Chains A and B, each alone.
Chain A
Amino acid sequence: MFDDIAFWVSYLTNGKHLTWYASFQFTIIAALLGGALAVIFGLTGATLKNSRFWPLRMIGTVYSAIVRGVPDVLFFLFFPLAFEQGVEWFVASQVCTPEMIAAQSAPWPPCKEANWFLGTPEYLILASVSLGLVYGAFATNVIHGAMRSVPAGQLEAARAYGMSESQVLWRVHIRQMWVYALPGLSNVWMLIIKATSLLSLLQIADIVLWADRLGAPNFLPTVGLVHDDWRWRYYLVLFVFYILVTWLSERAFDAITRRVGRGILSEAHG
């Protein structure tokens, strides 16, 4: 009994497990940064979509529409790779000489000097930006709809008080928009949380990758077989972890919705 507890304590606190616990930070950072960027891109997209200038309006409309026809994984993989190659292409156009290009045997980059090595922090930022871009398109639709749900009388009243257009926008329109946008934004946030499970596709040693490594049959010469294939147990832990995060987010969004909806007469809050 006591030996069992001692075994589990030492097993769950060995170096690999501690690394696994530490790797939760990548998931959390990607979710928070991606969520914040999604709101920013969403606000930008909604502004573009509302623009009076035709080309800008088209950009906003296409941005919010295209992501719905294409899977999020594709953008998630494509954007970091494309960004990396874009930078390398630019560097190559500055530093590469014909001799360097002739010496290069690999198809990319054009010359070895233009190679840009990306580590975990760089990939994490790129992954967050692509999460923001993809789910920003969803947020664009949500915010665009919410902006139109704000009662026209509120804006008229603000104008009647002599507020300038930007004052009306920031003090009344966007302030009141959140109440209508929150249910949709909570949906987008849930999608972002679930998309953070894909970080391992971008060479980030995240919780999924570590679960796979830790669960694989573990053989030590001194001890023998520590455990056979335990991967499903580790994935079950992640499964429960994501359900818990979803549950917590739901509670948090309920609380925020109630707080933001104070003093506003509408059916948007319960």
Chain B
Amino acid sequence: MQAFFDDLALMAPAVMFNISFAAASIPLGFVLAVFLALGKASSNPIINRLSRGYIYAFRGSPLFIQFFMFYSLALSLNVTVWKPMGWSGFVLHPLFMGPFVLVLNTAAYTAEIFYGALRAVPRGAIEAARAYGMSRSQQFRRVIWPNLIRLAWPAYTNEVVFLFHATAIVYFALPVIGGQRELMSTAQNLFETDYNAFLHFPVAALYFLAVSLVIFFIFGLIYQRLMRHLPSPPRLRYIPKWLR
């Protein structure tokens, strides 16, 4: 029992790394995803192709490979680019590289969700907005965006939880610097010292579960706030129907 509490204490700083990775990449990924989703819906063939290709490539390949690819790319540019600029300590640090790749990855998944929601925005609402003489930016801000975010929110919640879970592989692909480790890497490290798989991994799982539930709770509150115009606001289900 004492070992269990020791583990809880040992992993408390580690979970902060997971949370900060997720917290750093969610807002940036969100903004990038809005532009990508609009790009995928755009009628300009170049923008359309590029957004489609980007979303397809990043959804169709494993995050693990993306981590390796971008990290080794940054490494190979080190001597010619980063080092002369004095940036190598920053660019090659997992605290930059991790969120960077996570942003690129989650932007693609989120953009797909937003694109689906964009297509589901009721056509009549847009036509009505146009009939009122709204400009295109007004249409987007007043009609399309509020509809879109309400439609996308349950799936987006799921994506945020997936992103949080994806932070578990950051340090399997990137080097550990200065003993900074997130949950999975800490659990693996502890396992290699005393081979107690039945203690360390379940404790890490407990932390993941706890934070996931907190994310579901917070996003559920936001969902209720978004849906406050409805007579009986629909509750965000703990087990969403959507798959990544």
Contact = CB atoms under 8 A, between A and B. Distances in A.
Interface of A: 64-66, 68-74, 77-78, 81-82, 85, 106-108, 138, 141-142, 145, 184, 187-188, 190-191, 193-198, 201, 208, 211-212, 215, 228-232, 235-236, 238-239, 242-243, 246-247
Given A82-B198, A188-B243, A246-B61, A235 B68 contact: yes
A231 B72 contact: yes
A74 B61 contact: no
Interface hub of A68, A72, A190 (most chain B Cβ within 10 A):
A68
A239 B69 contact: yes
Contact of B205 (A65, A74, A142, A197): A74
A85 B195 contact: yes
Contacts of B141: none
Contacts of B75: 229, 231-232
Contact of A71 (B59, B188, B208, B239): B208
A230 B73 CA distance: 9
Given A74-B168, A74-B184, A235 B69 contact: yes
A57 to B, nearest CB: 15
Nearest to B198: A82
A193 B64 CA distance: 12
B194 interface: yes
14 contacts: A64-B239, A70-B208, A73-B172, A74-B187, A74-B201, A81-B191, A141-B239, A145-B241, A187-B243, A194-B61, A194-B64, A198-B172, A229-B76, A246-B60
Interface of B: 56-57, 59-66, 68-69, 72-73, 75-76, 161, 165-166, 168-169, 172, 184, 187-188, 191, 194-198, 201-202, 204-205, 208-209, 212-213, 238-239, 241, 243-244
Determine chain A's interface SS by DSSP, over half rule: helix
Nearest to B204: A74
Nearest to B73: A232
Given A69-B209, A187-B244, 14 more contacts: A69-B213, A70-B208, A74-B187, A74-B208, A188-B243, A197-B62, A201-B172, A208-B68, A229-B72, A229-B75, A235-B69, A235-B72, A243-B56, A243-B60
Contacts of B184: 71, 73-74, 77
A77 B201 contact: yes
Nearest to A80: B197
Contacts of B241: 141, 145
A74 B107 CA distance: 24
B64 A71 contact: no
Contact of A231 (B68, B166, B196, B204): B68
